[in-house]
Amino acid sequence: MDLEAARACHVRRLYGNSYLVADVDGVEVEICRFSQTLLDTFEAVAVHVARAGAALRHDDPVQGPPRERRTTRCPQCGRALPPGSDVCPFCVDHQAVLGRLLHYLRPYAVRSGVVLVLTLGTVAAGLLTPILTGDLVGVIQEHQAGARAALIRMVIILLAAATYNAIGSMVLAYQNRWLGQKIIEDLRTDVYTHLQGLALDFYNKKRTGTLITRVTGDTAQLQTFLTQGVPQTLVQVATILGVVISLFSIDWRLALLGLAPTPILYGATRLFNRGIRPVYRRIWSRLASVNAIIGDTIPGIVVVKAFTREDEEVGKFRSGNRRVFAAAMAAAYRESLFYPFLGWLIGLGSAAVWAYGGYAVISGHTLSLANLVKFIGLMGAVYGPVQAMSTLSGQVMQAATAAERVFEIMDTQAEAAQVGKYMPERLAGGITFDHVYFRYGPEEEALHDITLDIRPGQTVGLVGPSGAGKSTLAQMILRFYDVSEGRLLIDGRDIREYDLSQLRRQIGIVLQEPFLFHGTVAANIAYGRPDAAPPDVVRAAKIANAHGFIMDLPDGYDTLLGERGVGLSGGQRQRISIARAVLKDPRILILDEATSAVDTETEALIQEATQRLIAGRTTLAIAHRLSTLREADVIVVIEEGRVTEVGSHQDLLRRAGTFAKLWRMQTEMQKRAQDGWSDLQPDRP
């Protein structure tokens, strides 16, 4: 294939595979097919082919092939990275990440100290029970004077310890939960706040589901760790230390014998966790695949039924379910062997203690029956914490990985590296592109040497093929992207000198796919001006030709819209979007394909509303339907990131260039469509 003839190149996705397509002199040429695993690579190839063709046509040097956009493996250990993440769970500095997480405890230092004291108190009260039990056996066994009083006294102490333990545990549980919830509330708020300040380029590289998982799923995992893992760890460490000290104070020989299985118990649990963790990951992965099948087929049920693919989809689901079952049974097999082994190991230690301790008591050695009972009671309190501590490494690894994914967002640079302080009360609306270049990355040039001067109040149409850079050019005015080279001026001042919020308050945008939020119609219109009075909202709706259909809704302006405006037609959503822009009263207006996806009648209503909206404002209108730009003051043709033609509608038709060619094609297509529709109409008598 001749690269110079390639006007465009893109990837066309199919079911199960995709193929690379080039536009060669207006004809689509299929270059090759590939599996979905190579999708990222071939999308990069498509960009390179299109860029190389453009360079050859303009006698520019052809740059080398694009570098890999992202590695799917950790650069340190070489392991595959989790989907949607740049963080390797095996290479995370757990101590540093968790230390950073614990910084969120600083505002609650006093409450944290109370939690620590309560933890130590409840552990001490818990250990007092087996110790007092042994002493009670000794008192009962003595049958001496004062034994009854000692018995009553110790029973009272035992009841007091149990009461303190119960009350302390309740208070401790609440305080732990409060601290954990508060930390996660602060962290989640910080993450969401930071997300609002990130540049659009960040969202272009991240999947929405991944970001939602980080704000909700990862923080929920951290919440579990902070509310359960950390408190339990404190209790377990304190319990183990207290028990070990008490055991050695009773009889050091018996303590060594009783604690002998502990290293084996700890090591066996560590090995089990290391082996079972990949099995659990396999279960989660296969379950995610099953959920993905559901996520694909339920929203696409119309396509499934239309192509009679119900049996095939059920077969895929059944196969995925079997794989989940197989992985779950692999985990069950390991668990059914391990946990009985733990019970046997604990029983072995208890039997050894009873054998040695019982022999020592019977033989009349230094060990008394009371101390043996006390020792046995304490032994029962040590095996559980030891086993739980052995699982701590897995919990720490999961929590540290989740924290690292969250902090990865927090460490991403905020939207504008250079934020100015200039806050004009009202813009005039002049826009100047002074030799502007823009690159999405080192290898992806989207705009090349753009020079335009747009006067205040002028309407400028932007036309060109898909991917030419029209939307990028318009979005730079909102400073969604900063220029890579050159300058972008608003009213003669560099855009980077403006206060970002103040700048955007004076710019309105109507998108090709209008986004409506869950809420009332009135709230969606007033999204840019939440304090707008109801008469102003109604006036904006009337200007946008939306008042009529709004009043036909069940509750008029108070009608609650579903997610993304479900229940409204595309034209109705678009007119609400226009009303939103009218109410904002911007000085600069961007119309991005505002009528591309509506019927002719709705297009006429939107065009009428748009003409009212643009009056007196600087307007950039992006359109594929060239007829919508007939009244524009200036039309700019953009091809492959370059301005190739500038002039009025009539000027460009007289030049017989790209615009004239596109106009001729669209006019012929419209005429053929009208002729075809006329042929379908029944003959009139």
pLDDT per residue over 137-157, tens digit each?
A: 766 666 655 667 777 777 788
pTM of the complete model = 0.62
User: Residue 8's pLDDT is what?
Assistant: 66
User: Residue 67's pLDDT is what?
Assistant: 47
Determine the Cα–Cα distance for residues 502 and 338; give it in Å rounded to an integer: 64
Neighbours of 301 (CB within 10 A): 12
Give domain status of residue 158, yes or no. Answer: yes
DSSP string for residues in 567-582: TS-HHHHHHHHHHHHH
Give domain status of residue 623, yes or no. Answer: yes
The mean per-residue pLDDT over the stretch 600-607 comes to 72
Q: Highest-confidence range of 23-32, 224-233, 499-508, by mean pLDDT? A: 499-508
The mean per-residue pLDDT over the stretch 432-448 comes to 83
Neighbours of 340 (CB within 10 A): 10
Give domain status of residue 585, yes or no. Answer: yes
Is the pLDDT assigned to residue 536 strictly greater than 50?
A: yes
Q: Highest-confidence range of 46-55, 116-125, 632-641, by mean pLDDT? A: 632-641
- pLDDT tier for residue 522 given thresholds of 50, 70 and 90: very high
The mean per-residue pLDDT over the stretch 472-487 comes to 89
Residue with the two structure tokens 């929405």 = 208
Closest to 433 in 3D by CA, of 494, 503, 489: 489
The mean per-residue pLDDT over the stretch 434-441 comes to 86
Q: Using a pLDDT cut of 90, give the percent of the chain over it.
A: 7
Closest to 138 in 3D by CA, of 364, 371, 361, 367: 371
The CATH code of the domain that includes 212 is: 1.20.1560.10
Bigger pLDDT: 638 or 254?
638
Tell me how many domains the chain contains.
Answer: 4
Q: Same structural domain for residues 150 and 199? A: yes
Bigger pLDDT: 657 or 387?
657
Cβ pair 488, 503 in contact under 8 A: no
- pLDDT tier for residue 402 given thresholds of 50, 70 and 90: confident
Is the pLDDT assigned to residue 600 strictly greater than 50?
A: yes
Is the pLDDT assigned to residue 432 strictly greater than 90?
A: yes
Q: Same structural domain for residues 214 and 297? A: no
Give domain status of residue 378, yes or no. Answer: no
Give domain status of residue 320, yes or no. Answer: yes
Q: Same structural domain for residues 150 and 232? A: yes
Q: Same structural domain for residues 611 and 478? A: yes
Is the pLDDT assigned to residue 604 strictly greater than 70?
A: yes
Sheet arrangement for strand 642-647: 507-510, 588-592, 618-622, 459-463, 634-639, 642-647
The mean per-residue pLDDT over the stretch 444-464 comes to 89
User: Residue 430's pLDDT is what?
Assistant: 92
Give domain status of residue 201, yes or no. Answer: yes
Q: Highest-confidence range of 246-260, 526-540, 598-612, by mean pLDDT? A: 526-540
The CATH code of the domain that includes 550 is: 3.40.50.300
- pLDDT tier for residue 538 given thresholds of 50, 70 and 90: very high
Determine the Cα–Cα distance for residues 100 and 183; give it in Å rounded to an integer: 12
The mean per-residue pLDDT over the stretch 223-229 comes to 74
Helix (H, G, I), strand (E, B) or coil at 129: helix
Q: Using a pLDDT cut of 70, give the percent of the chain over it.
A: 75
Is the pLDDT assigned to residue 678 strictly greater than 70?
A: no
User: Residue 15's pLDDT is what?
Assistant: 44
Q: Same structural domain for residues 243 and 262? A: no
Predicted confidence (pLDDT) per residue in 629-672, tens digit: 888 899 999 988 899 999 988 888 888 888 888 888 878 876 77
Helix (H, G, I), strand (E, B) or coil at 143: coil
The mean per-residue pLDDT over the stretch 433-462 comes to 86
Helix axes 392-410, 147-196, angle to 10 degrees: 30
Bigger pLDDT: 25 or 622?
622
Q: Same structural domain for residues 218 and 95? A: yes
Residues in CB range of 402: below 8 A, 6 or more apart: 218, 219, 221, 222, 225
The mean per-residue pLDDT over the stretch 606-616 comes to 78
Q: Same structural domain for residues 246 and 257? A: no
User: Residue 70's pLDDT is what?
Assistant: 45
The mean per-residue pLDDT over the stretch 591-606 comes to 69
Is the pLDDT assigned to residue 16 strictly greater than 60?
A: no
Is the pLDDT assigned to residue 484 strictly greater than 80?
A: yes
The mean per-residue pLDDT over the stretch 183-208 comes to 77
User: Residue 255's pLDDT is what?
Assistant: 79
**Mean model confidence pLDDT for the chain:** 77
Determine the Cα–Cα distance for residues 185 and 177; give it in Å rounded to an integer: 12
Is the pLDDT assigned to residue 441 strictly greater than 50?
A: yes
Predicted confidence (pLDDT) per residue in 488-514, tens digit: 999 999 998 998 888 888 888 888 777
Give domain status of residue 424, yes or no. Answer: no
Residues in CB range of 133: below 8 A, 6 or more apart: 158, 373, 374, 377
Cβ pair 431, 490 in contact under 8 A: yes
Q: Same structural domain for residues 581 and 475? A: yes
Is the pLDDT assigned to residue 485 strictly greater than 60?
A: yes
Bigger pLDDT: 357 or 685?
357
The mean per-residue pLDDT over the stretch 304-323 comes to 83
Give domain status of residue 179, yes or no. Answer: yes
Two tokens, residue 188? 């989640």
Determine the Cα–Cα distance for residues 397 and 278; give it in Å rounded to an integer: 13
Two tokens, residue 296? 């694909």
User: Residue 398's pLDDT is what?
Assistant: 67
Q: How far is CA 400 from CA 91, 390, 395, 486, in A?
A: 10, 17, 8, 43
Q: Same structural domain for residues 170 and 317? A: no
Two tokens, residue 80? 């595959």
Q: Same structural domain for residues 136 and 165? A: yes
User: Residue 50's pLDDT is what?
Assistant: 65
Is the pLDDT assigned to residue 28 strictly greater than 80?
A: no
Range of the domain at 224: 88-250+384-415
The mean per-residue pLDDT over the stretch 303-327 comes to 83
Helix ranges restricted to H, 35-146: 39-57, 94-102, 109-142
User: Residue 85's pLDDT is what?
Assistant: 56
Q: Same structural domain for residues 130 and 26? A: no
CA angle 102–105–107, rounded 5-degree value: 145
The mean per-residue pLDDT over the stretch 3-32 comes to 66
Helix (H, G, I), strand (E, B) or coil at 70: coil
DSSP string for residues in 428-479: ---EEEEEEEEEEETTEEEEEEEEEEE-TT-EEEEE-STTSSHHHHHHHHTT
- pLDDT tier for residue 7 given thresholds of 50, 70 and 90: low
Q: Same structural domain for residues 403 and 465? A: no
User: Residue 451's pLDDT is what?
Assistant: 92
User: Residue 635's pLDDT is what?
Assistant: 92
